[in-house]
A and B are shown apart, each in its own frame.
Chain A
Amino acid sequence: MAITPLTTVETVRGKFSQAIVEITDFRGEQTIVLKPESLVAVCTYLQKRLQYTFLSTITAVDWPERVPRYDVVYQLLSIPNVSELRLKVRVGALGEEHPSLPTVTSVWPGANWYEREIYDLFGILFDGHPDLRRILMPMDWTTHPLRKDYPLTGFDLPEPYWGGQVPYDTDPGVGSQTLRTPGGRELNESRSKINPEREPGTPRP
């Protein structure tokens, strides 16, 4: 049986009838709105059984007046069947600062950066994400710019912004190694441990 968006929707409806909130069809594009707790189960099923192996993108939409506030949108693609599908999850209780949602990096490893981007720009947390850091904004940024209540030109910051703060105090680093520590700001972490008297070029005591 050929897998098309419509048959996928029917299959998911049959298999996960409890998980579905709503199914919409706009301009021929099928959208399944899921409950957050069953997201990973549905994604795993789609990836393993229905060959939705290609994750096009994940993004979020902010609806500040609505509860739940955010839509998290997954665009799936099945390369063997030439079929596309959109999944949607609604998160964010009233007044919740950082709503959370299970990660799908175990299903599609490429989801890693998309989820980091959503965390960066919307402040949505992904439980179980291996490396949830900011990706686009500076590491010390405290706000989430793509939220609707964030002004386009940003909040009033000292002018120039980077003069008052230190944009580089958090370094992504690799494992335990970082290019510099937050306090000392040396070139390398181990540099502070070097005895200057033992450094090359200095006479031994």
Chain B
Amino acid sequence: MIKLNLNRKKKAWLIAGVSFVMVLGCAGVVWTDHGAIEEEQSRIGKLKSEILSADATIAKIKTVEDRVLSERVRVKEYTKILPLDKDINNFVDRITEFEAAAKVEISTLDDKSARNRNKKKSKDAFIRIGYKMNVTATIGQLLEFMHLFESYDRFVTVKEFNIKGANPVELADGTLIPARHGVGLTLETYVYKPTNAMKQPVKIVNADERMLGISESLGLAKGLELDAYAYEERPNRRDPFSNPRHLIEEQTGSGEGAEIAEQEEVLDELVTEFNAIREQLKSETKEEDLVVKYELSRRLDARLGELRDRVTALDIDKFFSSPEARQRYRREVGDPLSELLKERLGADLELMPLDEVKSQYTRMQDSFDKEQFTDTIALGQTLMKSRVEGMPDELNEAFEEVLALIERAQIRIDFDQIEMVFNGLVVPGGDESKSIVIINGRAYSPGDEYAEGLTVKEVRSSGIRFLYRGERITRTLD
């Protein structure tokens, strides 16, 4: 054992030094532990915030579930527009059906992409499938063929097409076979292949029942709306892909009009007459004698009136069937006469053909029947812009009908604005003829006036019939 031979003072210093070192050691331990504690506390803080956020997340799980279910419903409905894999197998049959329906002739069909669709390993849920074909068809047949695909209940698009015009073929007996053009057509569709995630969806409690509720409440189950075109066949329209040039002696046109020679003769007469009137108009401007000027003006108005009546009659009869005659007529008589009359008499001769007015009226009637009254009015107002003074009686009557339908549509719109809550129906003793309807808490019998101009006409369990400003309107109780 080492024995230190130290004096008191040195011993005291030694003790103090040892104590200091020991205290320092303790301080070191405290310092280390404090560091560890701080670290733990920061972890605790983080954990607490994680737990808080986890609680918040867990509290929202039901909402997330609902969202996922909504998305499932949406995708399920959306994918309905795409062909299923089995439809693709039968799609060539569909093409054949459409070929027969449109009377086109398919010379080649390349469906390689459809056949190889399962060979490609793709992560995408939608596989693009293309069909390339060469077709011979008249322009009408081609339009019909493409329209069949574009209006097919599964999504098919005409990706691209090209037409090489051909000319009609004349048989030995003189029969003319309409031109069948060479068409290259590429169709495209998509097949939905659910990804693995879609194949094994997350299990949600009562998913099926909840999906039903969600789709009803959110109205998601209506699917995607595809833009569509209402194609109407126009058999009398000239095929612009056929050469319209013809030998001078050939008759052109749809056959509705007179012979070409007669058309040209009449046209020459009209042009001569119109040019003569124009010359006279120049003299009228130069004439200084008021009496002579008045007489000249009166005679010119009469001649212009006669010319206008003649032109109107020719328009209605579709006299000019030859394209050249029609064009010349419009250029040299129709348009300038209309301009002149507008200037001179303030009237527009741009008469709408009766058939067109009737066809527009049918469209109005359709929208009226579908209760699209705003559309009815819009259509009617556009049509009424074509009404001019001095129209033939037939056209005037047609426009009167248009006006009446506009008024009816307006009445229906006004009727819809009237606040009306049906509270119930009372059928005393089962006799429907004595029925009473309760509207907005008040009872009304047939013949009672509900509002100004609005009378209850008939009360039946199937519906209430009102008479509103001369229009009979039926409303069901639901």
A and B pair up: no
